[in-house]
Amino acid sequence: MSGGDPLLKAIATTYYTAGLAGDQLTALVGATSARRLRLLKADLGDEPLDLAAPADSDIYERDVTTVDTGDDDDC
C-alpha cells in the first residue's frame, strides 16, 4: 500500500483516525491488507520502547582493515 494509490492512502488514514470500522476496512482493501493495517495500528498505539542510548564502545573485536580506493574515487 505504500506505492502511492491515493484511495488506499485515504482508506488507511480514515481507519487510523477511527473513522472506519474493521469490517468496512476488510470490504474496501481485502483481508490481507486489512490485517496488515490492523497490526500496524496496534503497533502504533503501543508505547515506544524505552531503549538506552548505545554505549560509545568499539564494536569490532579485532583490528579493522581499511581499503584505499584511490584518489579519483568519490567513495
Has residue 5 got a pLDDT over 90? no
The Cα–Cα gap between 23 and 25 comes to: 5
User: What's the pLDDT at 73?
Assistant: 59
Q: Which residues contact 19 (CB under 8 A, 6 or more apart)?
A: none
Q: What is the pLDDT of residues 26-75, one digit of tens each?
A: 999 999 999 999 888 888 877 777 777 767 666 667 777 777 777 665 65
Number of helices (H), then strands (E), belonging to the chain: the values are 3, 0
User: What's the pLDDT at 69?
Assistant: 76
- Would the pTM count as exceeding 0.85? no
Q: Is 46 left (phi over 0), alpha (psi -120 to 50) or beta?
A: beta
Do 40 and 32 form a contact (C-beta atoms < 8 A)?
no
